[in-house]
Structure formats: structure tokens, C-alpha cells
Amino acid sequence: MTVITCNCGETEAHFSSTKPLFRLICCCNDCNTILHWAAWKQNRPFYPAFQGIDKIYMENSLKIVKGEQNLRWIKITEDSVCLRGLAVCCYSSLFVENLSILGPNIACIDVDFCQVNGAEPCEITAQIFEKDVPSNREAAICQSFEGPRFMEGPEESQIWPSVIPTIIEAQSKEINTPEGFVSLRNIIEKSVNAYGWINLEGYNDNGAPPIVLAEREAQQ
């Protein structure tokens, strides 16, 4: 079992598997925008200002064991298909669902923005979305990375299946979900029905715009 907890310990989830399917470094604007916003909400710096985000991808079988009331789901815009689950007790990023790229069988964890215990070691498979990296961060993020590098994401690369056949296999593999475990989709629907979405494009906190969106524009 892989145990995911927020950084303050008030929210905890268990994945039924301990073996990551694969591991990526994601350099996309969306990941950086939401994580920057979460840092701002916690009144802490997001440094460096643009980062490659370390992610492991697990079979989509998990359960919330503590702090379910803390979960909120974030979108950049109303039409976003990449959905991120944060624990608002400390604004730790716990999960990501992206049905358009990953399909329904794969869940993503931002390993540097929560506490992960019990997962087996997994080598970094590739780095993606380097097109979004600002020029002043290219040397640190792109040129220093040793391994397959992609300007786009997997759905936009013709050679992706040859680099990560695991993602193709995982998308079609039937998941054995133990009793008491569910998919991220079940958790999202329950949370959103209770609390709604946080949509960053329309987000307003006491009249102050989310500074992360201004930061994102400055980096493009």
C-alpha cells in the first residue's frame, strides 16, 4: 500500500498498489500555475518560480482514510481536463486526474508537494512539456536533464508509445480494485458535489486576483 498524506498530516489517502507505473518530470504551465497558487494561499514562496514537477503514476485505486472534508479540486479554466486535488488544510497537492492523456486507469501524484510513503522506487522515464519552460530556466530544467525529453505531452508526440509502452498498457489494463477502494473519479464527484470546483480563471479572494495567473503571463 502507498500512503499519501498532506504536509500537515490532516489528510491521508491509501493507494492499493505500491508499484508506480512510471514517473515523469512535467514542465507544463498548468502544473506550475496551480502549485504557485497553492503556495501563495499558504503564504510561502514557490521557488524556483518555474519548476519541473516530479510525478509518479499509479493504478487508479485508492481510498481517503482521513480528512476527506479537506479535499478540493482545482481547474485552471472552466474547460480544463487536468484536475488537481489539494488538501486545503495546508494546500498540499495530492492527486491529479487527466482523462484526456492518462485515461481512467491511471492516477498521478506530485511527490514533492505531499508526503509519499510505501511506494517502490521508480526511475524517471522522461521529461515532458519543455515548450513551456521560460528561457531563464532552460539551462537548469532542460539542459541538465539526462533522459528522453519532449517539447509536448504524450498525446502530441508520435514516438511516445515507443518511449513509454507502459502508459499504453496501463490505459487498457483492467484494474483489480480491492474492497473499500475507488477511483479518483468517484472521489472527485463526491467532493465537487459537496464543495464545488475552484476555478482559477475566475477565482477571487477578497477582491484580490490570484497572483499566480499574473506570474504565469509574465513567464510566457
What is the rounded CA–CA span in Å between residue 129 and residue 32?
12
Domain encompassing residue 165: 2-219
The pTM (predicted TM-score) of the whole model is 0.85
Residue 2 has pLDDT above 90, yes or no: yes
Q: What is the pLDDT of residue 4?
A: 97
Peptide bond into 48 cis (omega under 30): yes
Number of structural domains (the chain) is 1
Segment of 6-10, 50-54, 125-129, 132-136 carrying the highest mean pLDDT: 6-10
Residues with Cβ within 8 Å of residue 52, at least 6 apart in sequence: 25, 26, 27, 127, 133, 141, 145
> Tens of pLDDT along 103-136?
888 999 999 899 999 999 999 988 989 999 999 9
Q: How far is CA 67 from the centre of its chain?
A: 19
> Tens of pLDDT along 161-180?
556 677 777 777 778 889 99
> Tens of pLDDT along 182-191?
999 999 999 9
Residue 11 has pLDDT above 90, yes or no: yes
Question: What's the grid cell of residue 84?
Answer: 488537481
Measuring CA to CA, which residue among 86, 33, 46, 73 is closest to residue 199?
73
101: left (phi over 0), alpha (psi -120 to 50) or beta: alpha
Question: What's the grid cell of residue 171?
Answer: 490505459
Percentage above 70 pLDDT, the chain: 85
CATH number of 156's domain: 3.90.1590.10
Q: What is the pLDDT of residue 209?
A: 41
For the ranges 6-10, 40-44, 138-142, 150-154, the lowest mean pLDDT is seen at 150-154
